[in-house]
Amino acid sequence: MADARRRLESDTSAMVGAPRIHDSAARHVAGEAVYIDDIAAPEGLLHAYLGLSRIAHGRLVSLDLAPVLAAPGVVAVLTAADIPGVNDISSTHRHDEPVFATQTILHHGQPLFAVVAQTRQAAREAAALAQAVYVEAPPVLDVAAARAAGGTLVTDPLKLERGDVAAALAESPRRLKGSMTIGGQDHFYLESQIAIAIPGEEEDMQVFSSTQHPSEVQHMVAQVLGVASHAVTVEVRRMGGGFGGKETQSNLFACVAALAARKLKRPVKLRPNRDDDMIVTGKRHDFVVDYEIGFDDEGRIHAVDAVYAARCGWNADLSGPVTDRALFHMDNCYFYPAVRARSEPLLTHTVSNTAFRGFGGPQGMVGAERFIEEVAFATGLDPLEVRRRNLYGGRPGEGPGRDLTPYHQTVTDNIAGEVIERLERSCDYRARQAAIREANATSPIVKRGIALTPVKFGISFTATWYNQAGALVHVYTDGSVMLNHGGTEMGQGLYVKVAQVVAQAFGIGLDQVKITATTTGKVPNTSATAASSGSDLNGMAALDACETIKARLTEFAARHWQESPEAIVFRPGFVQVGAREIAFADLVKAAYMGRVQLSATGFYATPKIHWDRKAGRGQPFYYFAYGAAAAEVAVDTLTGEYKVERVDILHDCGASLNPAIDKGQIEGGFIQGMGWLTTEELVWDAKGVLKTHAPSTYKIPVASDRPRIFNVALLENAPNREATIHRSKAVGEPPLMLAISVLHALSDAVASVGGHKVCPRLDAPATPERVLAAVERVRAEAAS
Please identify every residue annotated as catalytic.
733
Calpha distance 97→89 (Å, rounded): 6
Collapse the DSSP code of 97 into the 3-class scheme (helix H, G, I; strand E, B; otherwise coil) and give the result. coil
Query: In angstroms, rounded to a whole number, what is the distance separating the alpha carbons of residues 472 and 528?
Result: 17
Dihedral (CA of 357, 358, 363, 365) sign = negative
Residue 18 and residue 661 in contact, taking contact as beta carbons nearer than 8 Å: no
Cis peptide before 765 (omega within 30 of 0): yes
* Residue 769 DSSP label: H
Phi then psi dihedrals of residue 86, to 5 deg: -115, 135
- The CA radius of gyration of the chain, in Å to the nearest whole number, is 28
φ/ψ of 248, rounded to 5, equals -120, -25
The gap from C-alpha 407 to its chain's centroid, in whole angstroms, comes to: 22
- Nearest-10 crossing angle of helices 319-328, 361-379: 30
Virtual torsion, Cα 722, 723, 728, 733, nearest 10 deg: -60
Q: How far apart are CA 355 and CA 143, in angstroms?
A: 19
CA–CA separation, 77 vs 595, rounded Å? 56
Q: How would you list the strands of the sheet with 518-519, edge to edge? A: 74-78, 111-117, 46-52, 268-270, 195-199, 205-209, 232-236, 518-519
Please say whether the beta carbons of 141 and 93 come within 8 A: no
Q: What are phi and psi of 451, to 5 degrees?
A: -155, 150
Q: Name every residue whose Cβ is closer than 8 Å to that of residue 612 and which is 6 or more positions away in sequence.
A: 618
CB burial class (10 A; 0-12, 13-18, 19+) of residue 417? middle
Characterize the bridge pairing of strands 205-209 and 159-162.
Answer: unpaired
Among 741, 503, 694, CA closest to 23: 503
d(CA 263, CA 255): 12
Report yes or no: 76 and 260 within 8 Å, Cβ to Cβ. Answer: yes
User: How far are the Cα atoms of 644, 648, 759, 760, 782 from residue 756, in angstroms, in the given order?
Assistant: 20, 23, 7, 9, 9
CB 335 within 8 A of CB 302: no
In degrees and rounded to multiples of 5, residue 159 shows phi and psi of -130, 130
Please give the C-alpha separations between residue 340 and each of 292, 310, 311, 318, in angstroms, as whole numbers: 10, 17, 21, 23
CA distances from 187 to 238, 434, 663, 672 (A): 17, 38, 21, 9
Q: What span, in angstroms and rounded, lies between the C-alpha atoms of 401 and 392?
A: 9
Q: Is 649:738 a contact under the CB 8 Å cutoff? A: yes
Handedness of CA 202, 471, 189, 491 (dihedral sign): negative
Concatenate the DSSP letters of all residues of 162-228 into one string: ES-HHHHHHH-SEEEEEEEEE--B----SSPP-EEEEE-STT-EEEEE--S-HHHHHHHHHHHHT--
Q: How far apart are CA 639 and CA 636, in angstroms?
A: 6
